[in-house]
């Protein structure tokens, strides 16, 4: 019957979505291993600076967007900091906080030079050689980064 076919197709679509979500799901990668978000978006060499508990650190990385779509980065979230801000150097060394940042299709953005995430209110000390994880959030997806403390 028609209602049986609709129910079957709904279950089939739901199953396909669950399989797709499982396949797309990302695992944390080592800090220097590129993380491939969509087959065309890679995050390379995520690192932070050592800092004592309660202080701030900068998180830097390179994001390569070889996809046909623009990205809108909206945040970095981690349990080791109370606050995360996207920061940028503008003009003659003026630092500003950004609400988000666009990465055009076929562009590479070096978050190691003029843009970075600042994590403040560290809940523990970050020591050289350690790793921690954070969630990089865009408008469309979230992925886990493994960040090495240099």
pLDDT tens column, 92-115: 779 999 999 999 999 998 888 789
Q: What is the Cα–Cα distance from 95 to 39, expressed in whole angstroms? A: 33
Mean pLDDT of 11-17: 48
Residue pair 76/118 in contact by the 8 Å Cβ criterion: no
Global pTM exceeds 0.95: no
pLDDT in tens, 36-54: 555 688 888 999 999 999 9
Q: What is the Cα–Cα distance from 140 to 105, expressed in whole angstroms? A: 14
Given the structure tokens 């970095």, which residue do they identify? 76
Q: Which two tokens stand for residue 116?
A: 């970075």
Alpha helices in the chain (DSSP H): 2-24
């Amino acid at each position: 019957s028609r209602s049986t076919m609709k129910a079957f197709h709904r279950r089939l679509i739901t199953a396909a979505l669950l399989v797709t979500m499982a396949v797309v799901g990302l695992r944390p990668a080592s800090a220097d291993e590129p993380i491939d978000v969509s087959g065309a978006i890679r995050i390379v060499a995520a690192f932070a600076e050592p800092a004592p508990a309660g202080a701030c650190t900068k998180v830097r990385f390179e994001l390569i967007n070889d996809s046909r779509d623009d990205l809108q980065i909206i945040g970095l979230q981690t349990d080791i900091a109370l606050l995360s801000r996207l920061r940028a150097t503008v003009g003659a060394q003026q630092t500003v906080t950004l609400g988000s940042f666009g990465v055009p299709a076929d562009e590479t953005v070096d978050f190691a030079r003029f843009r970075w995430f600042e994590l403040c209110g560290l809940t523990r000390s970050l020591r050289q050689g350690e790793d921690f994880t954070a969630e990089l959030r865009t408008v469309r997806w979230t992925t886990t980064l493994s960040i090495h403390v240099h």
